[in-house]
Amino acid sequence: MSDMAIVSPIRTLQRLPGVAIVLVLLIALFGAIAPGFLSAANLSNVLVQSTILTMLALPMTLIIMTEGIDLSMGAVLTLTSLCVAIVSLATTSMLLGLCAAVLVGTVFGLANGWLVAIAKIPPFVATLATLGMAHGLSLIVSDGQSVVGIPHSVRDIYSAHLLGIPVPILMGVASYGVFHGLLYHTRFGTYVFALGGNREALRYAGLSPTRLLITVYAIGGLMAGVAGLLMTARMNSGHPTAGLGLEFDAIAAVAVGGTSFERGNGWLLGTLLGVLAVGVLRNGLNLISLPSSVQVASVGVLVIAAMFLDGLRSRA
Amino acid sequence: MSAETSAATLDAASHVPLLELRGISKEFPGVKALDDVSFAIHPGEVHMLLGENGAGKSSLMKVLCGAYRADAGAIYYKGNQVTIGSTADAQTLGIAVIFQEFSLVPFLDIAQNMFLGREPKGRLPGTIDRRKILADARHVLEGIGFDIDPSVIVDTLGVAQQQMVEIAKAISQNARILVMDEPTAALSDREAELLFALIGRLKAEGVAIVYISHRMAEVFAIGDRITVLRDGRRIDQIRPADVTPEQLVRMMVGRNVDMTYPRHFAEQPGELVLQVKGLSATTGISDINIEVRRGEIVGLCGLVGSGRTEVARAIFGADPISEGEIIFDGKPIAGEPDVAARRGIALIPESRKSEGLALLRSVGDNLVVAALKKLFPSGLFDPRSAQRTADGLIRQLRIATPAARQTVGLLSGGNQQKVVIGKWLAAGARLFIFDEPTRGIDVGAKSEIFALIDRLVAEGAAALMISSEQIEICHVCDRAYVMREGRVAGHLARSELTEENIVRLGMHDE
């Protein structure tokens, strides 16, 4: 029976290729055909641009591990981004803007969690409904217009450097570190695995799946709030369609990263690699001057390619 | 020795039981699941719990672990009366149940699973002391002699090892009473040996074990005491040395059914309708040989999980077959359910609500749905012709419905079953495969269903009937095949068709 004690590291290695292969192939491809892709400035740019997606895809991984989904993330991010713009414009305080965004985001996350865990509405439907609400609210608070003239303190976050590294990259790395610690080293993270893997096991252990599930969705909303600050900083304005379709990229990154949509089989590093694959793809297509409509379609192709690679290997 | 005295001497001979159930009764609408059952568990003993499907084993187990509350009776722990109102109460008393479906989280490691909800706290708030959880897990695993790294992800383990993890989890919660529900059902012989060795070690440490089994060999190999249940009642409690397998079988059978079913047995069976030769499928059945003739009702029995339903599904083409052949009406048949249905095979599944009927549609719609191609070869639907066909079937099968447009979900179970039969009759089926045709149907309706099946075969059809109710098989079938662990364990002709023979063949009695 001792021959079974070898599995864990090999398993990780076996899972690694799918998304890693895709990422390496994409980098090689665009290195060859896209002028300037491999320059330090551009690679740094890819990382900076991937930060917002990282902040959504990390909590999305947790949500998907619970056999759920959050379709509202892009729309909530749009709303929180407008909150940052409006509040900082009114108070000239970046910090108050961030607080407002985090508050609004968390409220939406709690609402999603409540609808899913207590009202027992299927996650797809529940978060589709809150997507609509967040989108509508964005149009109302912005009057359908961009919010411009926001304080420099907001914009500076996106362009600032710390120890020579762009602040957004540091924020992305920090987010990953926090989520890694949360999922793999805390009791809460252990229970997230159980939420998707065997909810009965939680009940046997005397834990409340309901409260845990609400927390998972609330974290998603909170992160959409933090990412909203970066979005406003990046665009130097609040825009009522800023986060349009970001939930699509986030779900795609999680799927590409090898997180299974059932049984609570999640892989956070895979999600990070998935985010980078999406980022490289969009950046590379941009460099060879393909329109953004092609980018969206290509992310779809990326998802299928990664699934296909994973499927081929698991059958072999 | 009579049942009462043997049990009395047993209890007098040993000290106060660790846990004792006295006069436990539990009633559900229409069924007395447990009827005045008494049951004592002693430390360091393996107490085998025996009974047919539906004898009350699961109910008793659920009372033990706090999932059910008994209607009457009392529970004593070390001589003091206690109540087990929840799984938490059971845990406090040191009772742990290992269900056939595990309570493990697939993508956590062994240690995380063992200590789920009880993780040792790390230095930062909310974190887990990884080193301690692994050390604690290793300690428990070593204690039960399970040599494995506790950081292995549970999903990569085989069934036997997952079971070991479940046991380790229970032991880590200081369980003193382990309840195991057919723990060897999914294990190989070698794995079962490991489990028995573990049970031996647990016994030596004074753990009490309640062991539900269908395998006669196990009962005698590891049991210290045997309790036999039948129809929710305790039939006897004995020691293995005082009983033979034959006597145990006799105790398990003999259910009282005050009903005889109408059946006109054919003098001479007709020509061969179905011939199954050396059939194997990936669903766990192998080397199945079965014949059914016109005018016959052939029983297919065995314990739940012995492969009966899998045989039916393979014949119908619902599961792919890996070996062997199926000959229907002289010609081989292999393939999809729609081919089988077109050739005249009807499968009437156990879960008629999910598989056999469109519950929200009318009786008429359900009756004609399988015959649409036959009734309307041109592809154009004629409501009046459909109505005529439906009305004809309603009369022929005596379906109690106010009209063909009544929603089928509103009919009684027996009448729903008739609609399923009528559906296949309309489609021209000549072989009917029934999977538990009387499940959830009241006694009167059962008799009507059997009368209907009898008429079907008298008119030239053939039937293969799966049933867990041995008494029904004995009364209704011309002959029967008994399955055990995916194989046909034996064939019983009309003259040999007794409950005792069925149970004997269906169980391990080597």
Average pLDDT per run of 10 along chain A, which is 316 residues long? 46 63 90 90 92 96 95 96 94 92 97 96 96 95 90 89 91 96 94 92 86 96 96 92 91 89 86 94 90 84 80 54
Tell whether B115 is within 8 A of chain A (Cβ): no
The Cα of A98 is separated from the nearest Cα of chain B by a number of Å equal to 26
**Spatial distance between the Cα atoms of B229 and B50, rounded to a whole number of angstroms:** 6
Q: Please compute the mean of the pLDDT values over residues B386-394 and round it to a whole number.
A: 89
Checking ipTM against 0.90, whether it exceeds it is no
Nearest CA in chain B to A198: B105
Contact B107 A188 (CB under 8 A): no
> Nearest Cβ partner of A1 from B88, B117, B147?
B147
Tell whether B112 is within 8 A of chain A (Cβ): yes
Nearest CA in chain B to A180: B127
What residues in A contact B116, CB-CB < 8 Å?
A: 190-191, 194, 201-202, 205, 207
What pLDDT score was predicted for residue A61? 96
Q: What is the pLDDT of residues B466-479, one digit of tens each?
A: 988 788 888 889 99
What pLDDT score was predicted for residue A313? 56
**Spatial distance between the Cα atoms of B368 and B458, rounded to a whole number of angstroms:** 23
> Nearest Cβ partner of B148 from A4, A188, A190?
A4
Tell whether B123 is within 8 A of chain A (Cβ): no
**Spatial distance between the Cα atoms of B319 and B89, rounded to a whole number of angstroms:** 44
What residues in A contact B169, CB-CB < 8 Å?
A: none
CB pairs under 8 A between A and B: 89
**A140, A130, A131, A132: which is closest to A83 by C-alpha?**
A140
H-run or E-run covering B171: helix B159-172
Q: Please compute the mean of the pLDDT values over residues B31-41 and round it to a whole number.
A: 85
Q: Please compute the mean of the pLDDT values over residues B441-457 and round it to a whole number.
A: 80
Tell whether B458 is within 8 A of chain A (Cβ): no
The overall average pLDDT reported for chain B is: 84
**Spatial distance between the Cα atoms of B162 and B138, rounded to a whole number of angstroms:** 15
Sign of CA dihedral A22, A23, A24, A25: positive
Ordered by where they begin, the domains of chain B are 3-94+176-252 (3.40.50.300), 98-166 (no CATH), 259-344+430-510 (3.40.50.300), 354-429 (no CATH)
Pick the range with the lowest mean pLDDT from B94-108, B251-265, B370-384, B467-481: B251-265
**Spatial distance between the Cα atoms of B170 and B173, rounded to a whole number of angstroms:** 5
Tell me the C-alpha to C-alpha distance, in Å, between residue B316 and each of B282, B310, B348, B349. Answer: 15, 10, 10, 11
Q: Please compute the mean of the pLDDT values over residues B251-268 and round it to a whole number.
A: 67
Two tokens, residue A248: 């699509």
**B162, B186, B151: which is closest to B105 by C-alpha?**
B162
Q: Residue A276 — φ and ψ, nearest 5°?
A: -65, -40
> Nearest Cβ partner of B152 from A8, A263, A266?
A8
Residue B429 predicted with pLDDT over 70 = yes
Full-model pTM? 0.73
**Spatial distance between the Cα atoms of B128 and B147, rounded to a whole number of angstroms:** 24
Place B53 in a pLDDT band, splitting at 50, 70 and 90: low
Tell whether B351 is within 8 A of chain A (Cβ): no
Q: What is the pLDDT of residues B162-215, one digit of tens each?
A: 888 988 888 888 889 999 888 887 777 777 888 888 899 889 888 999 998 877
Contact A206 B117 (CB under 8 A): yes
What residues in A contact B108, CB-CB < 8 Å?
A: 190, 193-194, 197
Two tokens, residue B358: 């469109």
Domain ranges of chain A: 49-244
What residues in B contact A11, CB-CB < 8 Å?
A: 153, 156
Contact A190 B119 (CB under 8 A): yes
Q: Please compute the mean of the pLDDT values over residues B39-63 and round it to a whole number.
A: 85
> Nearest Cβ partner of B117 from A7, A207, A264?
A207
Contact B112 A190 (CB under 8 A): yes
Contact A185 B105 (CB under 8 A): no
Nearest CA in chain B to A186: B127
Residue B505 predicted with pLDDT over 50 = yes
Q: Please compute the mean of the pLDDT values over residues B126-153 and round it to a whole number.
A: 91
- The top-scoring range by mean pLDDT among A213-227, B103-117, B257-271 is A213-227
Sign of CA dihedral B398, B402, B408, B413: negative
Residue B142 predicted with pLDDT over 70 = yes
What residues in B contact A8, CB-CB < 8 Å?
A: 109, 149, 151-153, 156
